[in-house]
Structure 1
């Protein structure tokens, strides 16, 4: 929940206080990209020293930096301080990777792992449905810093409770001598991170263009409905996919899902109403959660247990970087060529 609330929460907070969307967007982007770089390093420390010794200090460091960012915003400190604390707040650990590492330790080699990954993907979607809406609603309806503040409280409380669950904490594994350094040494991790980055571009573009498209049709509030329908389609597919057992190799399944995703996005180029857009993204959402489930499963099979958390984090990080790039590129296209043209970013 904290990660789903923080980026948009920063944008909403700064745009209200400073009335400057460029500042708001670049500070939020600083957080996103620094988290993309720092979260895998936190996960690498987790693989080496254990979740119990690393997670809470990392979460507290991120929370302190975020608190400083909120104070600097409230008291209108120079902009340089906003960027500095957004950078430091990027030390926020990747909790989706931590949870999946625990499921892997519990069910490695069992069909139950597929079901567990499916459940986690659905929960991720639920967080990304609720989180942004909650962050914006609090910052607009209460006070500007309320959204990021609640995200910070969720981070500290959630990581504290998670760290207390010692019974499911993965044990430390000996690091294989044949592969030193980062989990990126595994070709599969690099490929999957790039694949998820490309998918992230789609997500980011659809999010931005849906807002612009709805506004162009005189109903900006309908954008939240469109994006919720997109996530609901993904949730339903994730639940169903978790119940099924496929004989096809995971890599072939992933190829099929990516192909299905590409084909399902093509109708976006012809949508002319908000209803048509909602129906199109509902169908397109059916391939989202299964793709994430398969990607996590491939990482689990590709890397040694001593690199698992870092490997999962790099894959998830690829998705986040892609979303940031997709949002920026789609925004530029929409500004220059109109809302409907922005869908070319997702389809292309």
Structure 2
């Protein structure tokens, strides 16, 4: 007899192996592709490799935590960290806001306008970073840039031969535009799919109750698409935190110290200054910070699931 008196023996819950079997190939591929480089980088960060060991093949001496003491004790490193955080926050905010605006526009537009915008977004998404950087370098060129020519036609504005990258604030504004340009399609298309799941009767009821468009967006739409919004925000933060190609290409492969972010700083320390272990230590700190962002993303997703 069972505890409830039904006469049936309690069945044991068998572990559901299907989800693990489905993700096993992806996990194995990631382990093979990323596992060895990550382990090698961790080992290198605790050594002191110079060009002598690199060319001779000799084992570099063990340095322990010396590389981390140098890196974390350097004031310029923390300047780069703060710059990276601010850069990431600005890029993510603009990406999410522009993506949400574009998604709302697509959601309310006619089918042919929606298809046109979607086609343009896919075209931008398919554009390689090198091509996008070349286009923006031409647009903001000091001698032949279209942006300088257009702005100079405004009354009282003279930007002839104006170099946008002389001032780091203006230069980073251009780089932010390149990053947001490349990130916008993912955010807009993903949020558009989320908006399609919002029940129309909820918005109609809010409008009948006297809610204004901004109130409908804040109290009806955003809470409904919150899981997708959190995902887009977190993924954009992780991607923008490790930006390298846009800065490297926009500065012609020779970025000034004022344009260093963590990815650029690690690369310069490793392959320009030949401080390979210091560059590995910076990269490892960057990975730890990105892992912290991933943990925040997972916690937000679990909390959202619990609320639902």
TM-score by length of 2: 0.34
Greater Rg, structure 1 or structure 2? 2
TM-score by length of 1: 0.30
